[in-house]
């Protein structure tokens, strides 16, 4: 059987666009001889639609689109993900379904294993399936599952049932899994392991179709696959791109002779491509065209500007330099050189006079109190006001440039450098920001070398360095990673060899600044545990404080 893997980028709630894209893809696949076209999980309506799923009108639109697609499936059938109503008397109002469409008719296959961890919250909306059936098509028996349904290969304690163990009793010829599997820099390898484990366990070929594209902070990398029954990859679609590929599932000898392993690139390249896609889709899907950011001459703003220029075109990314009396001359020069290297517009507004006016007006209230963090934050907030003024006046969307290390320990100013419509680096540790800078410069110098090698500094007071307030980033990031991503507590960290005072200091900073992170813009998620929808922590808590 010729089956098309359709890896597409969907827009949540944009039924007209999604439906037309799906129908066009079915037509293209049919012209290439495809008998069955496979799309991703919850393609109709987009994923994750979140509380839109509670709107009757939204589900009505899903049903109308499904019927329209089914009516157009005359030469080729399709499998497509959609929410469908639960017509039973008990349970949640919806099922997460894979819908088989052909010649105006539909057959529904419901998802059983509903993830309810990290960024997933499917039990909020869907009822799990408790019965399982095989799809019969073109003389073949297909075990059709949805994303998480095949991730419990070893029967972990997360679930009490394993869909494939139920379906294998029907002696299927082929497994098909449709997915909406969000990206993180570990996911591609982990996904490959899980898919191969299913192929080896059941000795069946497997088609896996994942969606691609960004849905605000969630990034989907695609990477759809076709495994032969011997466990080797026959087809591997690219990461971060739409793609369509037609494979022949019957010619197993040919598959074995052409077997190849998927090309999974390095961590930093994946992060780079994911962030570029995240910026591009955020702007495109919201109808924005131009971005602005504060350009300081530091590495965070430089990397953010380079990524945004790649995503939106350099002419659409405006850099605003706002030097103060504490800004070094080389920082201003570095910022200008970066903008010129990229071909991006920039302007300079000096903030010394504005700061002096604040200082003058506040003196009667502050009296004889010395210069401290207050004055540093005033500078950051002046810059925030200027950036938002430019955003309002010219329709730019402000990109936040704070990295994950800073966000974790509260090293940022609310309503100042924490402003923004989108946080580009908020899930990237500082040590990885440096690696991104080197990757961006892999072919030629875009980010000035002096920006990369100079000691990081906010330049809010004379001779300031980040290390005055924070541990060195190579140590800080290790502790943060163990605490945030791996959820290691203080005793475990100390037993690993980290200094006790440093551990307690860092964890206290993380936990006492939770209130700041609740007020940040959406953060593009590239790690297994990002700040945002996948990390739920109380603001007022005693633990580790």
One domain, residues 387 and 433? yes
One domain, residues 291 and 255? no
| 490 domain-assigned | no
One domain, residues 254 and 374? no
Tokens for 497, please give them: 């060899």
**pLDDT value at position 154?**
63
| 499 domain-assigned | no
**pLDDT value at position 462?**
81
pLDDT of 178 > 50? The answer is: yes
Residue-wise pLDDT tens digits, 13-71: 999 999 999 999 999 999 999 999 999 999 999 999 999 999 999 999 999 999 999 99
| 510 domain-assigned | no
**pLDDT value at position 256?**
46
Question: 424 with 405: CB under 8 angstroms?
Answer: no
- 212 forms beta bridges with 9, 221
Least confident of 60-74, 174-188, 254-268, 447-461: 254-268
What is the arithmetic mean of pLDDT over 424-453?
97
Stated pTM of the model: 0.94
One domain, residues 51 and 75? yes
**Omega prior to 48 cis, within 30 of 0:** yes
Select from 209, 235, 262 the last residue of a domain. Answer: 262
**173 lies in which domain range?**
2-262
Look at 276 and 331; give whichever has higher pLDDT: 276
Question: 317 with 342: CB under 8 angstroms?
Answer: yes
One domain, residues 448 and 311? yes
What is the arithmetic mean of pLDDT over 261-267?
71
One domain, residues 243 and 304? no
- The total domain count for the chain is 2
* Closest-CA residue to 258 (of 228, 214, 215): 228
Tokens for 359, please give them: 């200082």
| 447 domain-assigned | yes
**pLDDT value at position 157?**
55
pLDDT of 262 > 70? The answer is: no
**pLDDT value at position 395?**
95
What is the arithmetic mean of pLDDT over 346-359?
96
pLDDT of 260 > 60? The answer is: no
- Displacement of CA 178 from its chain's centroid (Å): 19
| 175 domain-assigned | yes
One domain, residues 224 and 285? no
One domain, residues 255 and 312? no
- Displacement of CA 258 from its chain's centroid (Å): 33
One domain, residues 145 and 32? yes
Binned at pLDDT 50, 70 and 90, residue 200 comes out as: very high
**Alpha-helix runs per DSSP H in 168-312:** 187-202, 252-257, 267-286, 299-312
Select from 466, 498, 532 the last residue of a domain. Answer: 466
Burial of 353 (0-12, 13-18, 19+ CB in 10 A): exposed
pLDDT of 542 > 90? The answer is: no
One domain, residues 419 and 325? yes
Q: What phi and psi values does residue 317 have, to the nearest 5 degrees? A: -120, 115
The strands making up 422-423's β-sheet, listed across from edge to edge, are 346-348, 317-321, 291-294, 397-400, 422-423
Q: What is the CATH number of the domain that holds 208?
A: 3.60.110.10
Q: Which residues are known to be catalytic?
A: 41, 111, 147
Question: 149 with 155: CB under 8 angstroms?
Answer: no
**What percent of the chain is modeled with pLDDT above 90?**
86
Binned at pLDDT 50, 70 and 90, residue 481 comes out as: very high
**pLDDT value at position 541?**
80
One domain, residues 308 and 257? no
Select from 227, 262, 297 the last residue of a domain. Answer: 262
Task: Give CA–CA dist 162/164, Å, rounded.
Answer: 6
Radius of gyration of the chain (CA): 26
| 522 domain-assigned | no
pLDDT of 159 > 80? The answer is: no
pLDDT of 156 > 90? The answer is: no
**pLDDT value at position 166?**
93
**pLDDT value at position 254?**
43
Q: What is the CATH number of the domain that holds 396?
A: 3.40.50.620
Binned at pLDDT 50, 70 and 90, residue 247 comes out as: very high
DSSP string, 58-106: HHHHHHHHHHHHHHH-SSSEEEEEEEEE--SSSS-SEEEEEEEEETTEE
**CB under 8 Å to 490, separation ≥6 — which residues?**
503, 504, 507, 544
One domain, residues 222 and 347? no
**pLDDT value at position 155?**
61
pLDDT of 545 > 60? The answer is: no
Report the mean per-residue pLDDT for the chain.
93
**pLDDT value at position 253?**
42
Residue-wise pLDDT tens digits, 385-415: 999 999 999 999 999 999 999 999 999 999 9
Binned at pLDDT 50, 70 and 90, residue 259 comes out as: very low
| 14 domain-assigned | yes
| 181 domain-assigned | yes
């Amino acid at each position: 059987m010729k089956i098309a893997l359709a890896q597409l980028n969907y827009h949540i709630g944009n039924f007209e666009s999604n439906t037309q894209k799906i129908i066009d893809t079915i037509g293209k696949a049919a012209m290439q001889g495809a008998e069955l076209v496979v799309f991703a999980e919850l393609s109709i309506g987009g994923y994750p639609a979140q509380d839109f799923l509670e709107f009757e009108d939204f589900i009505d639109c899903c049903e109308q689109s499904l019927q329209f697609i089914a009516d157009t499936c005359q030469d080729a059938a399709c499998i497509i993900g959609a929410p469908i109503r639960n017509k039973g008397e008990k349970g949640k109002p919806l099922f997460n379904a894979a819908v088989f469409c052909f010649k105006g008719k539909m057959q529904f296959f419901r998802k059983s294993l509903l993830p309810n961890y990290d960024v997933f919250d499917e039990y909020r909306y869907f009822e799990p399936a408790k019965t399982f059936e095989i799809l019969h098509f073109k003389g073949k028996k297909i075990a059709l599952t949805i994303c998480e349904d095949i991730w419990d290969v070893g029967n972990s304690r997360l679930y009490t049932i394993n869909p494939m163990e139920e379906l294998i009793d029907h002696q299927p010829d082929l497994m098909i899994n449709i997915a909406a599997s969000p990206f993180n820099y570990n996911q591609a390898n982990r996904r490959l392991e899980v898919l191969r484990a299913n192929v080896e366990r059941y000795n069946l070929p497997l088609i896996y179709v994942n969606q691609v594209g960004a849905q605000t902070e969630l990034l989907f990398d695609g990477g759809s696959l076709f495994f032969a029954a011997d466990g080797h990859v026959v087809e591997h679609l690219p990461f971060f791109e739409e793609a369509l590929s037609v494979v022949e599932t019957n010619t197993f000898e040919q598959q074995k002779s052409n077997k190849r392993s998927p090309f999974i690139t390095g961590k930093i390249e994946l992060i780079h491509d994911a962030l570029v896609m995240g910026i591009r889709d955020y702007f495109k899907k919201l109808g924005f065209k131009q971005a602005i950011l504060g350009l300081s001459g530091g590495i965070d703003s430089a990397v953010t500007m380079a990524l945004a220029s790649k995503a939106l075109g350099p002419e659409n990314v405006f850099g605003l330099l706002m030097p103060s009396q504490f800004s070094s001359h080389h920082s201003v020069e570095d910022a200008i050189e970066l903008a010129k290297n990229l071909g991006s517009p920039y302007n300079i507004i000096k903030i010394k006079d504005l700061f002096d006016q604040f200082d003058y007006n506040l003196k009667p209230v502050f009296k004889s109190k010395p210069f401290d963090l207050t004055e540093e934050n005033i500078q950051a907030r002046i810059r925030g006001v200027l950036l938002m003024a430019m955003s309002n006046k010219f329709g730019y969307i402000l990109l936040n440039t704070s990295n994950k290390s800073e966000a974790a320990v509260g090293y940022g100013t609310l309503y100042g450098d924490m402003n923004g419509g989108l946080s580009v680096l908020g899930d990237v540790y500082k040590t990885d920001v440096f690696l991104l800078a080197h990757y961006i410069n892999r072919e030629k110098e875009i980010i000035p070398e002096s920006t990369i090698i100079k000691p990081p500094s906010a330049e809010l007071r004379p001779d300031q360095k980040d290390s005055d307030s924070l541990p060195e980033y190579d140590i800080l990031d290790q502790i943060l990673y163990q605490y945030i991503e791996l959820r290691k507590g203080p005793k475990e960290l100390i037993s690993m060899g980290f200094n006790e005072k440093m551990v307690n200091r860092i964890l206290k900073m993380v936990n006492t600044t939770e209130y700041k992170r609740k007020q940040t813009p959406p953060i593009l998620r590239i790690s297994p545990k990002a700040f945002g929808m996948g990390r739920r922590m109380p603001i007022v808590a005693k633990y580790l404080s």
